[in-house]
Amino acid sequence: MKEKTKFYCTSCGNEAAKWFGQCPACGQWNTMVEAPGDTVNRSRAGAVKVAGAAVMNLPKPITELDTLEEVRFSTGMSELDRVLGGGAVVGSIVLVGGAPGIGKSTLLLQLCGMLENQKILYVTGEESVRQLKLRAKRLGVDRQNLLVLAETNLDNVLRSIEATKPELVIIDSIQTMFNGDLTSGPGSVSQVKDCTMALMQAAKLQSFTCFVVGHVNKEGAIAGPKVLEHMVDCVLYFEGDRAMSYRILRAAKNRFGSTNEIGVFEMADNGLIEVPNPSEMLLSGRPKNCPGTCVTCVMEGTRPVLAEVQALVAPSGFNGARRNSNGIDYNRAMLLLAVLDKRGGISMNSCDTYINVIGGLELDEPAADLATVLAIASSARDHVIPYDTTAIGEVGLTGEIRSVNALNQRLSEVARLGFHRCVIPAHIRGEVKAPDGLELVSVRNIREAIFAILED
Ligand code: TYD
Ligand code: MG
């Protein structure tokens, strides 16, 4: 029989029978890669099928299903617990993605050091046992209940899991694991998918929790975690500027909790330190008496977080205006620039504009609009926004300031960090209570906001 090949999109994981220049699912160009189809009818998958048939799994009415809550355990790191939705779920599989060197192995090894009672199996395919021991020494992880296995063959890993019966398994990383039954090499799409599927079946059957590391690779040469996202229970991305010490752990998918929560860590000499109050960290080193910066408050899940938006407006050269946005969606930033130009009375033509959010934070909430507009206006006019002033509000296309949710919570955080003034949407002024020492400036549109903050 002729061997079939399949094509996968390295951006979204879409599978197709033929090659496309543009992925039909996500619209990205040049992301389809060829991978050999699965040529072998795997014995492992077959075994599971047989076991299922013997039990005769019949459908049941929903009213008769058990309502057993999922069993969770605390990881001992409150920031990680928060992102997982209140602890790790027994029998679940969690993918931890991130660029190489961001700190995934460090995070998971530290997690092993936190758990006193669980039996843990750490499978390392990237580092030797000696390297791992050195790192563990540096992190102060030294436990009898932590077993280490340097192995890349999936069958051996599964056999070790069966033999040692751990409660937590860590696979570092999925790109180094391979199943000898498949023809493709480690790190290819079919290998990564197959290994994850096998681990998932084992995790459900033997009810252990599994953390799987996956490298994010922009070039798409190695299958990234994207192709696994739909298979696993929870996807965490570890992000941050490698040059800076702050790291943000974000849930991109979570079957057992919300995906809005973030966990903040700082990389220090002896590992990752949790940052329980990220606002202080994100505002540290803020310049005084400088135009082009404004602080806002966004909700990251249930937690209000203060963020600094910076803008630089400079005369452009002969080649037309350059625009760049970092931390705020580019199209949103362009929309805000257009609104400022047309409704705010500040001409942005023939100006280069650069927008940046400090600390590597991604602001995807419209509540940051007003601060962005004010930061741009401040830089364009060369007027300083007072150091103790913040702005919260969504900007509409007519320049109106629209309401945001959870304003009381945001204002408490603003007041807690010592700010004295906050610009808020006028029409919800009646619904909020100003915390002590915080003056609320209600504005109806961006002209009023610019007038209130930049003209006095
Ligand atoms: P690592 O966990 O190896 O990254 P990943 O597994 O995501 O590829 O992180 C390695 C980086 O972290 C490396 O550049 C060194 C740094 N680091 C510290 O700064 N302090 C530490 O205590 C450790 C263990 C690593
Ligand atoms: Mg690593």
Question: From the alpha carbon of 104, which atom of ligand 1 is closest?
Answer: 7
**CB-based burial label for 90 (10 Å; 0-12, 13-18, 19+):** middle
Q: Which helix (H) or strand (E) holds 389?
A: strand 389-391
Question: From the alpha carbon of 245, which atom of ligand 1 is closest?
Answer: 19
Per-residue pLDDT of the chain (456 residues; tens, 9 = 90+): 556 777 877 777 778 888 888 888 778 888 888 776 655 544 444 444 444 445 567 888 888 877 667 788 999 999 999 999 889 999 999 999 888 888 999 999 999 999 988 899 999 998 999 999 999 999 999 889 999 999 999 999 999 999 999 999 999 989 899 998 888 778 778 888 899 999 999 998 998 999 999 887 655 334 566 778 888 999 998 887 766 778 889 888 899 888 778 888 999 888 999 988 888 888 888 999 999 999 999 998 888 999 999 999 999 888 788 999 999 999 999 999 999 999 999 998 889 999 999 887 889 899 999 999 999 999 999 999 999 999 999 999 999 999 999 999 999 999 999 999 999 999 899 889 899 999 999 999 999 999 999 876
Name the residue with the closest Cα to ligand 1, atom 9: 103
**Helix, strand or coil, per DSSP, at residue 187:** coil
Q: Is the pTM of this model over 0.85?
A: no
Q: How many CB atoms lie within 10 A of CB 21?
A: 8
Neighbouring residues of 329: CB distance < 8 A, sequence distance ≥ 6: 364
Strands (E), 197-350: 209-215, 234-239, 246-254, 262-268, 271-274, 293-300, 303-315, 323-326
SS (H, E, C) 2-36: CCCEEEEECCCCCEECCCCCECCCCCCECCEEEEE
Neighbouring residues of 201: CB distance < 8 A, sequence distance ≥ 6: 44, 48
Neighbouring residues of 182: CB distance < 8 A, sequence distance ≥ 6: 36, 38, 39, 40, 190, 191, 194
Distinct helix (H) and strand (E) counts, the chain: 11, 23
- The residues that bridge with 249 in the sheet, in sequence order, are 238, 263
> How far apart are the CA of 139 and the centre of ligand 1, in A?
10
Question: From the alpha carbon of 270, which atom of ligand 1 is closest?
Answer: 22
Residues contacting ligand 1 via CB (< 6 Å): 98, 100-106, 135, 138-139, 267, 269-271
Q: Measuring CA to CA, how many Å separate 128 from each of 149, 150, 156, 197? A: 9, 6, 16, 25
> How far apart are the CA of 399 and the centre of ligand 1, in A?
46
Name the residue with the closest Cα to ligand 1, atom 11: 101
